[in-house]
Amino acid sequence: MSGGSCQLLKFLFPFFSNAGFWVLVAFTVDRYIAVCFPLRKTVLCRPRRAIAVCGALLLVSAAKSTHIFWTLGIRYEYNSTVHWYVSRCTPFKRYEHFHDYIRPYLSMPVILLIPFIVILTCNILIIRKLRQRNRLLQQTNIDRKLTQTTAMCLSISFAFFVCATPIFCTIVAHPYTHRPGISISSEMRNRIITTLAALFVYLHHAINFYLYCLTGQQFRSDLKAVLCVPCQRGRFKLDGLRSWVRCRTRTFRVAPESSVSMDQRLAVSPQTSNETVSSGVPCDEDEADGKQQRVSDWSVVTRF
């Protein structure tokens, strides 16, 4: 592993984790505004503003982790088992104290405590607002929508706390569990625990989508509307084609041959036919009725 790939891998994990946590916070705040302040939703919750907030969160998350590019790198340490120097992607010697004793306590409030407090507080306020709304509407039974929203809010908060806590516990305990001179079995046990804690973080980012799908009916409806856009476009095209066919298959009344001469029919039929064929846009019922009145003296049905 080269120095650049080592720094890039160590940068991507905290970058995406921080961005994912704070995007979840922004989504929760957006839902809180929509429920508790519905009149301000159209002003505060706009697509452009949402894109700007997500972009700002990505920039802040990237800026927070840029120190990795000059504090971490490849270090060669002597391994007494193989009697050779092995490469490890670890902090440089002069930044070990910062990574072991300062960085965990700076990251924990920003990534774990503050997001968890904001998510839990907003979800509690959402549940409280919905219950107050039910009381004002004088509903005696528990609303199904309220139950689903409560389950969704509590599941999101609980999953965030359960999945994000282990990784920070291992980071804080790292300088005390990875001391020099520990046995190989202890080192392997610490690595397994650290790997499992990282898997919990990955699991949290993966199950958020499924939690919203399982507990949120409105989320499922919106997701279905987004995924079925091509289907809706095909349906609109089919409706337009049907209107065009109805316009083309216009019915005209033609008189019997005994009462109308061939010259009169040739004088009228081409004009009517040209009007029908040249019109490439769908015509409505009023226009069709007008054309049928202009040829009301005819009695033979002709379809184009």
Residue 267 has pLDDT above 60, yes or no: no
Cα separation, 301 vs 255, whole angstroms: 9
Question: Domains of the chain, with CATH numbers?
Answer: 3-227 (1.20.1070.10), 251-302 (no CATH)
Classify burial at 104, counting beta carbons within 10 Å of its beta carbon; exposed 0-12, middle 13-18, buried 19 or more.
middle
Residue pointed to by tokens 């279905």:
224
Q: How confident is the model at residue 79 (pLDDT cuts 50, 70, 90)?
A: low
pLDDT tens sequence across 190-236? 888 888 988 888 888 888 888 878 877 777 887 888 787 655 555 55
Angstrom CA distances, 181 to 80, 82, 144, stand at 11, 16, 59
Mean pLDDT across 279-294: 44
Cα separation, 195 vs 199, whole angstroms: 6
Cα separation, 192 vs 18, whole angstroms: 23
Residue 253 has phi, psi (to 5 degrees) of -95, 130
